[in-house]
Amino acid sequence: MSNQASSTHSAPHSAAEAADNGGRVADRCIMVIFGASGDLSARKLLPALYNLGRNNLLPREFAILGFAKDAISEEDYRQRVRQDMHEYAGAPSDCSLCNWLADHTYYIAGDFGQAEDFDKLKAKITEMDERHHTGGNVFFYLATLPQFFSAIVRQLGEKCLTVEEPGHWRRVIIEKPFGSDLDSARVLNREIGQVLKETQIYRIDHYLGKETVQNILIFRFANGIFEPVWNRRYIDHVQITVAETLGVERRGGYYDRAGCLRDMVPNHILQLVSLTAMEPPISFEADAVRDEQSKVLHAITPIAPEDVLSRAVRGQYGEGRSGADGSGNDAEVMAGYRHEPMVDPQSHTETFVALKLTIDNWRWADVPFYIRTGKRLPKRMTEIVIQFRRAPFVLFRDTPVDRLTPNVLVMHIQPDEGISLQFGAKIPGAHVRVGGVTMDFKYTDYFGTESSTGYERLLYDCMIGDATLFQRADMVEAGWSVVEPVLDVWRALPARSFPNYPSGSWGPKEAEDLMRRDGRQWRME
């Protein structure tokens, strides 16, 4: 297909053209999507592939194979691919890249538990490999419910679809949640480890596809002014907030079994903790980075059962009103969690979690890490707050200044990616007065905006064999070890006060008390 005007986004370019554009073109390969007819594929994966193609990072020798239970024709699925890229990636209607990707897309209707359907899958991969010259390279994306992960990997192994031979690779991307507790995570690791080598397993966490998350390492280790103060001597505490304004939406059936703690903390939030707290790796090679992350996760002090009630807070949203302060006469009334579709009317499942964690190593001894995450909060945001220790007040004792505010560094991860630093400056005038000022860096101001689903970097890294942003087996198990004591206590003592925060508020009062007992408070914008 010939290249067309940039407004229509042409087919992938050559490796040389990709290099001129600032990146290495991905390896030639086939992407097999299990659960290809679902929301994840439509809203995230296919738009991410479109964005990779738009940036000339997809190889010309590339094809997509969808596998799902829905009995739809291949041509109908190709039309879905075009529509999804138009609807969720903003592709123009006359998009040659969309047509190219659709023409390179195939579909099989099958059952994840039927061996004969995997025979069809194997035959189709062979046919596509010969047609598109993909060199035998295949990666399988498990965009399915978690209960199918082990069965799919077992079927792939039985059909020899995971066998790597000289000159070609086979890889598997597995979505979260990876297990529902420590025991199930260990079982899943063991089961897929019987089929795959660890180097073939890519446990995905889409939070790590966000630019600011990736920028944490660059910010810390490429700037000589920050790393020297990134320790217990200068930092008072760390806050990590992942707040959502939405409720459980259509996920009530899954969410009522999982809950906020399982859904967010062992993966998303502990990944942010490990990147914030890790020691400098010896290189940016995947295992060098993940070795240091793993050390942090293993160094998090387990919360003793008797401390769970004082160091862990759970909440469930009730009815409330939309708006930044959760009030307003003309604001929308939002239903409580127990009235959401597919949720038990007497549910004890938490939709909010706050924890106080400590890291038992030299760098972070006595520095608490406060984390909170929840649904139906006033604002959608994810941020990491580094609060530094206050400067000594002795110099200002004979001035009108009555207190000094601490310096605060905030890494904004979503929705507006950037970094801000708050510090004190003299207010103009005859008297010595200190005012707080903020220096802001926003990605959009310096680097412009670019459409992204957060999956582009992760898919690309899998295609080039870079596992840096994917979790290793030991990291997954270490994450579950952190939350396991809390899960055990909460299972034994169901919450009696639910719902305990109105929709549109910042969670239950106990979350404020968690920090207030230590003489601290959550950062509020």
| Residues designated catalytic | 268
Strands 138-142, 105-109: pairing kind: unpaired
What does DSSP assign to residue 177?
Answer: P
Grouping H, G, I as helix, E, B as strand and the rest as coil, residue 63 is strand
Q: Please say whether the dihedral angle defined by the alpha carbons of residues 308, 379, 469 and 212, taken in this order, is positive or negative.
A: negative
Dig out the tokens for 330 from the structure.
């003309």
User: What is the helix (H) or strand (E) element at residue 480, kind and residue range?
Assistant: helix 473-492
- Cα separation of 498 and 509, whole Å? 13
Torsion of CA 442, 390, 515, 502, to 10 degrees: -40
Print burial letters for 259-268: b (CB count within 10 Å at least 16), e (below 16). bbbbbbbbbb
Those residues whose C-beta lies under 8 Å from the C-beta of residue 346, and which sit 6 or more positions away, are 338
Phi, psi (5° rounding) for residue 215? -75, -15
Dig out the tokens for 151 from the structure.
């069965």
Whole-angstrom Cα Rg for the chain: 25
Helices of type H across 55-181: 74-89, 96-103, 115-132, 149-158
Amino acid identity at 391? A
- Cα separation of 289 and 278, whole Å? 9
- Per the CB < 8 A criterion, the answer to whether 259 and 350 are in contact is yes
Residue with the two structure tokens 């990147």: 275
The 3 state secondary structure assigned to 184-205 is HHHHHHHHHHCCCCHHHEEECC
First vs last C-alpha separation in the chain? 51
Those residues whose C-beta lies under 8 Å from the C-beta of residue 114, and which sit 6 or more positions away, are none
Dig out the tokens for 51 from the structure.
């964005």
Amino acid identity at 408? V
- Cα separation of 195 and 190, whole Å? 9
| Residues shown for the chain | 525
- Cα separation of 505 and 492, whole Å? 28
What does DSSP assign to residue 42?
Answer: I
- Per the CB < 8 A criterion, the answer to whether 412 and 420 are in contact is yes
Residue with the two structure tokens 């920090």: 515
Those residues whose C-beta lies under 8 Å from the C-beta of residue 252, and which sit 6 or more positions away, are 340, 341, 342, 343
What does DSSP assign to residue 267?
Answer: I
- Peptide bond preceding 305 in cis form (omega within 30 of 0): no
